[in-house]
Amino acid sequence: MTAPLSGLLVIDMAQFLSGPSAALRLGDLGARVIKVERPGTGDICRTLYLSDTDVEGDSTLFHAINRNKESFAADLKDPKQAEQVRRLIAQADVVIQNYRPGVADRLGFGPDRLRADHPRLVVGSISGYGPDGPWAGMPGQDLLAQAVSGAMWLNGDRDDGPVPFGLSVADMLAGHILVEGILAALVRRGITGDGAHVETSLLEAMVDLQFEVLTTHLNDGGRPPIRAATANAHAYLAAPYGVYRTSDGWLALAMTPSSKLEHLLELRLGQRNPFAERDLVKAMVAERLGTKRTGEWIAILQPNDVWCAAVRDWPTLLAEAGFRRLELLQTLQRNGTSITTTRAPLRINSKRPVSRTAAPIVGTHTAVIADEFGLDSL
């Protein structure tokens, strides 16, 4: 099967997570992705370690986000090398950036200049808090965007204080949103011949993540969300929605009428309102669920159409037949070293995209790309 974006050329001028993750998605869909990075050290993400593990001198984080890419090393402050990148961009379909506002302009690669020089080009930009305004100069970092966005007050129980996500959720979401806009711009270009400048930010991504609950807040007299005192999983949903400790693990309970649960758990809830008396009902459910093992409760609840699931850690998940059936993992090779990572989280005509190559070594494709695109004839 020919990949949907086969034949498109994407220039990834971004660093860290958000921009490169967008380029990764386009590469998974078949686009050719050339990563432009500084000579020697390359993308800073190469040394941004999540643990004390690296693979061939690069962090596992870099490997996760930069598979299927070629590396072109260039110092954008060097006139000759900058001109090489401009010539490369002249033959591209998409350019992705995540500089701080104003930096790309100072380097001569601002979206306005690129679009003026190449009207068919689609430029994708990610900032921390938008292109201008009082927050534009703040560091565009994931944890800070989470903090500013208000999202931390949705996690954890009532007395926990703000709880961040255990993931770089702002970066990843901003990357996904940028891909959505880039694909829409490419469709429009196919109709009109005109490219576009697509923009988003970490803050915009975090606000969009909260659109469900933020809309409630905006139309609910401005009342703040109130997290449950225990087993909180959604600040606006009634009991028993939450995650509960069992005698040997944890059990997640989704939308279930309290009346049904009352019978199956042998509780005496009476006329207690699952909204108004959420904490009391949850406390009663929690006490009862703690008396049996997770598997025992699932055997009771699932046959009675109660939406529940065991809370799994990664080793347990990876061992499950249901996970293995999805074929979401792949092992790539770089210089004989194996790198196990994820695959694209979608299928097209029942086929999941397969990565061609592991993340590149800095500048490993520079000479070949320069020759292919005629970049040395300056």
HSE-up of residue 139 (Cα within 13 Å, Cβ side): 7
Distance of CA 267 to the CA centre of its chain: 41
Q: Verify whether residue 197 is a known catalytic residue.
A: no
Is residue 331 classed as helix, strand or coil in its secondary structure? strand
CA angle 291, 236, 257 (to 5 degrees): 50
- Structure tokens of 331? 């092992």
- Structure tokens of 367? 């000479």
Distance of CA 214 to the CA centre of its chain: 20
Q: Rounded distance, CA 46 to CA 6, Å?
A: 27
Q: CA torsion, points 135, 136, 139, 145, in degrees to nearest 10?
A: 60
Q: Rounded distance, CA 197 to CA 115, Å?
A: 8
The type of residue at 373 is F
Q: Rounded distance, CA 100 to CA 136, Å?
A: 8
Q: Rounded distance, CA 159 to CA 157, Å?
A: 6
Whole-Å CA distances, 286 to 2, 28, 155, 237, 281: 52, 43, 18, 16, 9
Answer for the pair 246, 301: CB distance below 8 angstroms, yes or no.
no
The type of residue at 350 is S
Rounded to 10°, the helix 211-218/202-209 angle is: 70
Mark out the alpha helices in the chain (DSSP H runs): 18-28, 60-65, 79-89, 103-107, 111-117, 142-149, 169-192, 202-209, 211-218, 258-264, 278-289, 294-301, 314-319, 321-326, 366-372
| End-to-end CA gap in the chain | 39
Catalytic residue among 197, 234, 263, 365: 234
- Structure tokens of 89? 């961009």
Residues identified as active-site:
234
